[in-house]
Structure 1
C-alpha cells in the first residue's frame, strides 16, 4: 500500500483496494504540489474525502481522475471535508454544483467558514495587519504579510461532531475530531476496512502547521489540542493511514508518536532559548529566533506570518504548562521564561 511522494506530473489516480481510490489534485504554485482526494465506494455513489484547491487545473484533474477510475463526478453522493483549508475544501462547492452532492465538515470549522464568508476583504486585511503589529512586526512587514488570502470555501450542508457516522450507505465512516491544525479538523475511520483518512493531522514526511490566530489569544491552546489529538490517533494502533498529502503509509500510531516527539523537542528548545534572554520578547522576536526550514531572513512575508502563528502556539502551550508568562496590557504582547 505504501507509495513514495513523487512530483505531481508523475502522479496517477490509484485503486487502493477495498472500494477506495485516490486522485491527486494539483495545488498550483504551492510546494506541497497536490492534495490526495479519496473516493469511497457506496451503492448510492462515491463519497469524496476532501476535494482539492479551487482552480481550473485542479477541477480538470479531479473530474478527469474520477473518470479514469470509472466514476463520473456527477455521481458523487457527498464530500466530507477534513478541514476548511482551501486545498481541501476549495472544490467542494463545484462538486456540489455538478452532482447535487452534500458537503459535510466538523461544526467548529463550519463556524469559521461562516465567519469568513461574512467578513469583507478590506476588513480581513485590517484584521491581519493589526494582528501582526500586536505580535511585534513593524508596520511595513505587517502590511506585506497581510495579503494573499484565498476565497472562502463553500458553506457546508451538514455539520459533523466527534463520533458521527458519515452518510455512506453500506459502509461505516466515522468522524474523529482531531483539533490542532484547525479547530474542526477531523480524521475519518473507515471501520469496515480499518483504515484512517488522516487529512493533514498525520502526514508521513512533514508536520502540519499548528498556529494560533489572532497570535495573542489566551483562551485557546491549539498545540496542546494537537498533541492530545495525536495521542488519540496513536490509540488506533498500526492502522494504514491515507493522508491528504505525500503518500499513504502503514502504522499511523508510530508516525503520530514521531510528530509528538518533534513538538515536545521544539517546546524544550524554545524554553531554553527564552531562558537565555532575561528580557521579555515579542512573538515576532521569538519566531525569528526559532529554527525553520529556511533562515528567517529568507522567509517571505507570508511565511513569516505563518511562522509567527506557530511560535505563538508554542508560547501559548508553554504558558499553559507554567513555563512562561505573558506580559498582558502591553502592545506588542511579550513573553518571558519563568524557569531555566
Structure 2
C-alpha cells in the first residue's frame, strides 16, 4: 500500500521509491487544477517506482492517464526519471526551467564515454589517487558503460519562467528560481494557501548536495554554493506557511530552517578555511577530512565523487569571497587560506 498523504486543498504527496538509495523515496506531489491533475516531479525511472506512482494516483482518486501536466523542480533522475513514461501514457506536457532543460539536452546528446573521460579528468585535477581512478580507466578502456543514469531523460516541451505564474487553470502557482542544487532548480509557491513545493532546495532534516555544475562543454566558472545561499535567503524572505519538500516530510517555519542551513554552510566554510590555514590541500584531501554522514573509509566510490564535488564547491565559494586562493604552480591544484 502506497502511503499517500492528503494535504487538503487539492494537494497530495505520493512516496515513489528510489532503488538502493538511503533517501528511500521521492515525494511526488499531485495538484488538482480545473483542467486535470498536475504532477510536481515524477520519481525514478524504475518499474517498481512507476507502479508506486500509479498506485498512489489511484489512491488519490485519479490515474496516470488523466495527468494534464508535469512540473519538474530539477533534472535529477529521482525527480525527472518517470516523466517520459507519464507523458507517453497521458499526453501530458512537461515543464522545466531553461537552465536544467539545457542540461537535459546536452546529456542526451553526449556519449557516456565522453562523460567518463570528463569525470576522470576532473578527479585527476582534484587530486584523486590512482586507486580511485583505476575503475574509471578500466571501464572506459573496455567501452563500458553504454548507458548511465539520467542520460536519456525526457525533453521538456514548456519552460518554467522564474517569477511568473505557471499556466494552471484555477491555481496561482508562482515559479521561484532557486539555483544551487542544480542550475535550473525551481521552487513552486501556491499563493492561495501559501504552500511551497521546495524540491530539494529546502529539506527539513538534511542539506542538499551542492557540487559543481559540471558539463564537458561548460567553460564558465560557476559558483553553485553562492547561488544556493542567495536562493535560500530569497525563500527565507518569502516565508511560506508550509513547505512540501521532495524528500522526508512536510514542515513549517521555513525561515527558521533557512537560518539553520545558512549557519551550517558558514560553519563548514570556516572549518575548511581553518584546514587550509594549516597546510595547502587538494579538493580530494579536503573531502577526506570533511564531516560526512559516515567515515570516509565507508563512503562508496560514487559517493566519494559527489563528496569531492561538494568540497570543490565550498572551495570555490571561499576563493570568490577572497578567503582562499590556489597555490601557484601546484599540480594537482592545492588551496590555501588568505
TM-score by length of 1: 0.92
8 Å CA contact 2:195–2:240 kept in 1: the answer is no
Q: 1:139 aligns with which of 116, 120, 130?
A: 130
1:163 alignment counterpart? 163
2:258 alignment counterpart? 256
2:142 alignment counterpart? none
2:231 alignment counterpart? 229
8 Å CA contact 1:213–1:309 kept in 2: the answer is no
Q: Using a 3 Å threshold, how does the CA distance of structure 1 residues 32 and 156 change in structure 2: closer, same or farther?
A: same
Alpha-carbon RMSD across the aligned residues, in angstroms, is 1.9
Give the Å deviation of 1:143.
4.2
Q: Using a 3 Å threshold, how does the CA distance of structure 1 residues 69 and 303 change in structure 2: closer, same or farther?
A: same
Alignment of 1:49-60 (within 5 A): 49-60=40-51
Give the Å deviation of 1:124.
1.1
The answer to whether the aligner puts 1:79 opposite 2:78 as a matched pair is no
Give the Å deviation of 1:167.
2.2
1: CA distance between counterparts of 2:322 and 2:211? 19
Query: How many residue pairs end up in the alignment?
Result: 327
Alignment of 1:152-301 (within 5 A): 152=151, 153-214=153-214, 219-277=221-279, 280-301=280-301
1: CA distance between counterparts of 2:44 and 2:155? 15
Moved more, 283-292 or 138-147: 138-147
Give the Å deviation of 1:145.
6.4
8 Å CA contact 2:93–2:157 kept in 1: the answer is yes
1:92 alignment counterpart? 83
1: CA distance between counterparts of 2:328 and 2:98? 31
Please list every run of at least 4 consecutive aligned residues from structure 1 whose deviation after the TM superposition is greater than 2 angstroms. 142-149, 213-218, 327-331
Give the Å deviation of 1:36.
0.4
Give the Å deviation of 1:144.
3.6
Structure 1, unmatched stretches of 5+, are: 1-8
Q: Using a 3 Å threshold, how does the CA distance of structure 1 residues 203 and 130 change in structure 2: closer, same or farther?
A: same
Give the Å deviation of 1:214.
4.2
2: CA distance between counterparts of 1:46 and 1:238? 23
Superposed CA deviations along residues 20-78 of structure 1, whole A, max 9, x for unmatched, are 01111000111000000001001111110000000000000001110111101111111
Q: Which has the higher contact order (CA 8 A, sep 6+)?
A: 1
8 Å CA contact 1:48–1:80 kept in 2: the answer is yes
8 Å CA contact 2:17–2:48 kept in 1: the answer is yes
8 Å CA contact 2:162–2:176 kept in 1: the answer is yes
2: CA distance between counterparts of 1:336 and 1:46? 53
Superposed CA deviations along residues 201-239 of structure 1, whole A, max 9, x for unmatched, are 000011100001449987211001100111000011252
Q: 1:105 aligns with which of 96, 101, 119?
A: 96
1: CA distance between counterparts of 2:231 and 2:65? 35
1: CA distance between counterparts of 2:121 and 2:108? 20
Superposed CA deviations along residues 165-205 of structure 1, whole A, max 9, x for unmatched, are 22211101111000000000000001121100000000001
Moved more, 139-148 or 324-333: 139-148
TM-score by length of 2: 0.92
